[in-house]
Amino acid sequence: MSTRLFGEPVRRREDSRLLTGRGRYLDDLGAGALAAAFVRSPHAHARVRDIDVSAALDVDGLVAVYTWEDLPERVARPLPLLIPHPALTHGRTAHPLARDVVRHVGEPVVMVVAADRYLAEDACALIEVDYEVLKPVAGLEEAAHGAHLVHDDVPGNVGAHLVQEVPSASGAGAREAVAAAPHRLAFRLDIERSASMPLEGRGVYARWDGTDLRVYSSTQTSTSVRMAVAAALGLPLPHVEVIAPDVGGGFGVKIVHPWPEEILVPWAAMLLGREVKWTEDRREHFVSSAHERGQVQHVEVGFDDEGRVLGLDVTILHDHGAYTPYGIIVPIITSTQLLGPYRIGAYRVEFSSIYTNTVQVTPYRGAGRPQGVFCMERTMDKIARHLGRDRTEVRRVNLIEPHEFPYDQGMTFQDGRPLIYDSGDYPEMLRMVKELIGWDDFERRPGRGIGIACYVEGTGVGPYEGGHVMVTSDGRVHVSTGLTSQGQGHETVFAQVAATELGVPIDRVSVVTGDTRRFGYAVGTFASRAAVMSGNAIALACRKVRAKALRIAADALEADPADLEIVDGLVRVAGTPSAGIPLSTVAVLANPLRYAFDDEAVKATQFAGAASPDRPPVAEGDEPGLEGRDYYSPIRSTFAAGMHAAIVETDPLTAEVRIVRYVVVHDCGRLINPMIVEGQIHGGVAQGVGGALYERMVYDGHGQLVNASFMDFLMPYATEIPMVETAHLETPSPLNPLGIKGAGEAGVIPVSAVVASAVEDAEGIPIDRMPISPSELFELRNRHPAR
Amino acid sequence: MEHEITLVVNGVARRARVPARRLLSDCLRHDLGLTGTHVGCEHGVCGCCTVLLDGEPVRSCLTFAVTVDGREITTVEGLAGPDGMSPVQRAFAECHALQCGFCTPGFLCTVTALLRENPAPTDREVLEGISGNLCRCTGYQNIARAVHRAAELLAEEGR
């Protein structure tokens, strides 16, 4: 088998397990564990006056009932605020179980542990919580008025307020630039809530043996869950291990941690001395996990006769729900990534992050970018319409040119570092997407429109990831990295990286992710960072292993290491296939032995004559074994980019929108596995289509989520998703050894903007609010009769 | 009160003692240890829990185990033959029709039944055939491709 695997559409190594029912997801583990279930608040805002558990005590199989008052001090504390920021002046997080006040429907109030889930839910149903119902704060703008408060001590419901301003080259502020511009527009945009909605919900399973705690969690960050659990339970870190088993999708919601259940389930397992498991059900996922997207944006833009943006002034109201465990990452990303591939004259962005009595808001695939891209791309379309110019021409005059990289946008990005684009070729990308969709030849007619949207995605944020690579004496290569997998095919792509770097067949390589027993230092899987971060860290670790292998083999072959190569797992003198030794033998020689545990091991024993008696068996500065560990820590993010275009048809009677064609041009630097990248794009676009046409979280005035089921939250089926046509441009990142960017979130980012652009084109009606349902489009038609 | 039932699962008679309210999905997963069948919504919409009941796809989360006493059930664990993965399973691997894999067992059961009924479905029939199963990862494009590929493989192998 060829070892040039980087860049090849290698079939996934995960699949045989997942296709035959041998995947191990959270709820597949822990047969016989006790089951936890939760009593959750039915009110959006209420004071807990009393909890009466007496009726539940008769349930056969009940093991324990816990309320906030039962929790020890460390466990009872508010959950951590994961990403503090100076502008987040009023950050608030929930207690693991409600203390006094509940602030959204679904907030956990009581934990029940019983012999099985049926019995635990029976007990939950018998627990009576006496609530004093308080005035709910529902609706983003109502919340911003501050008449009623989500948290008594947060005036105006404002958790954070941040202004970033980048003046023009001549030093003018954005407002000044808008006022002085030859053309000006002002408008408002709205985006509603959706959610990650992985098909596997969250879940936690814990076992305690009296000394060591093992926790399995359906998480996007096992290392950080481990630190959080150790801190909350007061355990020494070496006595806690956390494992992310097969995870049935994440899309952002599982990067949040520790969830209440991630603390409470291990705590109960320790207290009871029994294994305890909690598996989230779908209703719980809707009302107690996290949502995203909801924003109101006010835009003022000034531009010249060609459509060049001279000044852009954006004010954002961001709905962050009842708590802010993930800080203000989402609105920071919206306000910075809004700039897209464009050179904007002067820019001012201001956001207020507002509390409401709804489920907390944390990143969902795209993480604020879809809203920012919607804002900028609607702006571009409006400029074009105002000037009577082609929408792609207006974009073209604003694009950053290839010679301008690295391009500094003058802002601070979500990693606290400058927003400097590393590489790209946006004009070529625009040319490609126009050609792919047939932009210039498109035949417009009523009910048929074409749309486009462009984006830049900061990917591969730090601080770091690591990789460990070990070659064992059977010639197998064991790779581990700390970040987690939720379907991205990491076992395959990291094996491709390792096999390519080491020169071994891929079937000798195995990859473990998200298991703190194998790798303890990591950040997690989010922000399209896994391939960039762990891919590079594994490559660097492989290079260490390779150098050591060549050094040991050179000794054995009496050759110069510089003359050696590794091909198909054989270390040999370049061009002389006969003179070589297998990597397995190198691994044996790398570990000087006293005891021969098998025939191969004999070669490394003390009387085998391999080692010089004049030197210590393990040289100073060296280590036994053929293994290596390295880390990749980037100076700043890489910047992937893409442009999407679509053709839609709208039904003249029903106002139904049908996407006829959908094309994607995508640049994520060098591709490790094009098949997997395409799959990521397809899935992202599908989620984008859901967010553009179908999905929303519908809260009523009482703060009740009225569509909290798959019956009413319209996740698209195969019949709703278009075929996606893709083309790739590869501008390698200069920031990392492999030249890769990231691809995980890309597909979803511009879809609402593309669909709005196309529907607007088809209907001749401004589309300023997403998602758009047939009934909304129907209403819009009635309000714009003379279109 | 518990009921003694016998389910013929993947060709093997399996006994279980279950309360009347035990869902078939829970019985398969937790009583019989066949965790390949997944539960995504417990209200019959997502299709993750689809199994074949006497050859027909059903939602095991909407079925009480006691109501299928004595019946034949095929789960994802029973799709592969003695020679390895079934054509449907192989087609899914070949076409990259799965990512996280959580919805996959339901799709595999659905598609196995679909192609038994209609060995050469049109594009439209494929989309309709899989339109009772949700997937959050793939965007369905490669799943649809895998259904066509599975049909080819089945035809080639004369099954």
Following DSSP, what letter does each residue of B118-142 receive, concatenated? -SS--HHHHHHHTTT---SSS-SHH
Say what the pLDDT of residue A603 is. Answer: 86
Task: Identify the residue among A13, A14, A15, A707 best suited for mutation to test binding to B, counting B beta carbons within 10 A and taking the highest.
Answer: A15
Residues of B in Cβ contact (< 8 Å) with A59: none
Say what the pLDDT of residue A787 is. Answer: 62
- A488 in B contact zone (CB under 8 Å): yes
Residues of B in Cβ contact (< 8 Å) with A282: 40-43, 46
Q: For the residues A474-500, what does the mean pLDDT come to?
A: 97
DSSP A236-255: -GGGEEEE--B-S--TTGGG
Q: Which residue of A has its CA nearest to B133?
A: A717
Say what the pLDDT of residue A718 is. Answer: 98
For residue A43, give how far its alpha carbon lies from the nearest alpha carbon of chain B (Å): 23
pLDDT at A674 over 70: yes
Q: Do B93 and A676 touch (CB under 8 A)?
A: no
Contacts of A119 (CB under 8 A, 6+ apart): A35, A59, A60, A61, A62
Q: Which residue of B has its CA nearest to A30?
A: B30
- A694 in B contact zone (CB under 8 Å): no
Dihedral (CA of A371, A354, A714, A446) sign = negative
Q: What is the dihedral of CA A712, A330, A201, A199, to 10 degrees?
A: 60
Q: For the residues A13-30, what does the mean pLDDT come to?
A: 98
CB A425 within 8 A of CB A667: yes
Q: Which residue of B has its CA nearest to A15?
A: B93
Q: Which of A11, A197, A721 sits opposite B93 (nearest CB)?
A: A11
pLDDT at A342 over 50: yes
Q: Which residue of B has its CA nearest to A711?
A: B45
Phi, psi of A94 (to 5 degrees): -80, 160
Range list of β-strands (E), chain B: 2-9, 12-19, 50-53, 56-59, 72-74
Q: For the residues A457-465, what does the mean pLDDT come to?
A: 94
Helices A426-437 and A391-398 pack at an angle, to 10 degrees, of 170
- A30 in B contact zone (CB under 8 Å): no
Say what the pLDDT of residue A1 is. Answer: 37
Greatest pairwise CA separation for chain A in angstroms? 96
Domains parsed from chain A with CATH numbers: 32-134+196-288 (3.90.1170.50), 160-194+291-461+635-783 (3.30.365.10), 463-632 (3.30.365.10)
Say what the pLDDT of residue A421 is. Answer: 97
The tokens describing A16, both together, are 């045989």
Residues of B in Cβ contact (< 8 Å) with A686: 138-140
Domains parsed from chain B with CATH numbers: 2-78 (3.10.20.30), 87-156 (1.10.150.120)
The tokens describing A362, both together, are 């944390």
Phi, psi of A464 (to 5 degrees): -170, 165
Greatest pairwise CA separation for chain B in angstroms? 51
Q: Which residue of B has its CA nearest to A748?
A: B139
**pLDDT tens-digit profile of A238-262?**
999 999 999 999 999 999 999 999 9
For residue A502, give how far its alpha carbon lies from the nearest alpha carbon of chain B (Å): 26
Using DSSP's 3-state secondary structure scheme, residue A607 falls into: coil
The tokens describing A340, both together, are 């897209």
Q: Do B37 and A685 touch (CB under 8 A)?
A: no
The tokens describing A524, both together, are 């997690």
Say what the pLDDT of residue A723 is. Answer: 97
pLDDT at A611 over 60: yes
Q: For the residues A379-406, what does the mean pLDDT come to?
A: 98
CA A148, CA A157: separation in Å to the nearest integer? Answer: 8
Amino acid, res. A358: T
Say what the pLDDT of residue B158 is. Answer: 81
Say what the pLDDT of residue A186 is. Answer: 98
For residue B45, give how far its alpha carbon lies from the nearest alpha carbon of chain A (Å): 6
Q: Which of A21, A683, A718 sits opposite B75 (nearest CB)?
A: A21
Q: Which residue of A has its CA nearest to B100?
A: A487
A-B Cβ pairs (cutoff 8 Å, strict): 167
Q: Which residue of A has its CA nearest to B140?
A: A718
Q: Which of A17, A686, A711 sits opposite B140 (nearest CB)?
A: A686
Q: For the residues A58-75, what does the mean pLDDT come to?
A: 97
Q: Do A715 and B132 touch (CB under 8 A)?
A: no
- A125 in B contact zone (CB under 8 Å): no
Residue A528: enclosing H or E segment and its boundaries? none
Residues of A in Cβ contact (< 8 Å) with B141: 682, 721, 723-724
Q: Is A783 exposed, middle or buried (0-12, 13-18, 19+ CB in 10 A)?
A: exposed
Q: Cα–Cα distances in Å, from A35 out to A282, A299, B32?
A: 16, 50, 18
Residues of A in Cβ contact (< 8 Å) with B138: 679, 682-683, 686
Q: Do A679 and B96 touch (CB under 8 A)?
A: yes
Q: Find the range with the poorest average confidence among A481-495, A572-586, B76-90.
A: A572-586
CA B56, CA A453: separation in Å to the nearest integer? Answer: 44
Amino acid, res. A338: L
Task: Identify the residue among A29, A717, A748 best suited for mutation to test binding to B, counting B beta carbons within 10 A and taking the highest.
Answer: A717
- A198 in B contact zone (CB under 8 Å): yes
- A120 in B contact zone (CB under 8 Å): no
For residue B99, give how far its alpha carbon lies from the nearest alpha carbon of chain A (Å): 4
For residue B105, give how far its alpha carbon lies from the nearest alpha carbon of chain A (Å): 7
**A183-191 and A769-770 beta bridge pairing:** parallel
Q: Which residue of B has its CA nearest to A722?
A: B141
Task: Identify the residue among B35, B60, B100, B130 best suited for mutation to test binding to A, counting A beta carbons within 10 A and taking the highest.
Answer: B100
**pLDDT tens-digit profile of A27-39?**
999 999 999 999 9
- A710 in B contact zone (CB under 8 Å): yes
Residues of A in Cβ contact (< 8 Å) with B41: 282, 709-710
Among A724, A649, A729, smallest CA distance to A684 is for: A724
**pLDDT tens-digit profile of A156-210?**
999 999 999 999 999 999 999 999 999 999 999 999 999 999 999 999 999 999 9
Q: For the residues A73-94, what does the mean pLDDT come to?
A: 97
CA A507, CA A504: separation in Å to the nearest integer? Answer: 8
**pLDDT tens-digit profile of B2-46?**
999 999 999 999 999 999 999 999 999 999 999 999 999 999 999
CA A534, CA A119: separation in Å to the nearest integer? Answer: 43
- A747 in B contact zone (CB under 8 Å): yes
For residue A478, give how far its alpha carbon lies from the nearest alpha carbon of chain B (Å): 22
Say what the pLDDT of residue A553 is. Answer: 95
Amino acid, res. A741: K
For residue B70, give how far its alpha carbon lies from the nearest alpha carbon of chain A (Å): 23
Q: Do A717 and B140 touch (CB under 8 A)?
A: yes
Q: Which residue of B has its CA nearest to A484?
A: B100
Using DSSP's 3-state secondary structure scheme, residue A764 falls into: coil
* pLDDT class of B159 with cuts at 50, 70, 90: low
Mean pLDDT computed over every residue of chain A: 96
Say what the pLDDT of residue A2 is. Answer: 42
Contacts of A473 (CB under 8 A, 6+ apart): A584, A587, A588, A591, A598, A600, A601
For residue B77, give how far its alpha carbon lies from the nearest alpha carbon of chain A (Å): 5
* pLDDT class of B54 with cuts at 50, 70, 90: very high
- A682 in B contact zone (CB under 8 Å): yes
pLDDT at A604 over 90: no
Residues of A in Cβ contact (< 8 Å) with B140: 682, 686, 717-718, 721
CB A749 within 8 A of CB A366: yes
Task: Identify the residue among B141, B142, B145, B147 best suited for mutation to test binding to A, counting A beta carbons within 10 A and taking the highest.
Answer: B141
For residue B118, give how far its alpha carbon lies from the nearest alpha carbon of chain A (Å): 18
Q: Do A11 and B127 touch (CB under 8 A)?
A: no
CA B148, CA A553: separation in Å to the nearest integer? Answer: 50
CA B48, CA A23: separation in Å to the nearest integer? Answer: 14
The tokens describing A129, both together, are 């919580």
Provide the whole-model pTM. 0.97
Q: Produce one character per residue of A336-369: b if its CB has 16 or more CB atoms within 10 Å, e if not.
A: bbbbbbbbbbbbbbbbbbbbbbbbbbbbbbbbbb
CB A46 within 8 A of CB A287: no
DSSP A440-488: GG---BTTEEEEEEEEEEEE--SS-EEEEEEE-TTS-EEEEESS--SSS
Whole-complex ipTM? 0.98
pLDDT at A3 over 80: no
Ordered strands of the B56-59 beta sheet: B12-19, B2-9, B72-74, B50-53, B56-59
For residue A550, give how far its alpha carbon lies from the nearest alpha carbon of chain B (Å): 36
For residue A24, give how far its alpha carbon lies from the nearest alpha carbon of chain B (Å): 8
Q: Do B89 and A19 touch (CB under 8 A)?
A: yes
Q: How far is CA A100 from the centre of its chain?
A: 33
CA A719, CA A691: separation in Å to the nearest integer? Answer: 16
Residues of B in Cβ contact (< 8 Å) with A675: 96
Q: Do B101 and A14 touch (CB under 8 A)?
A: yes
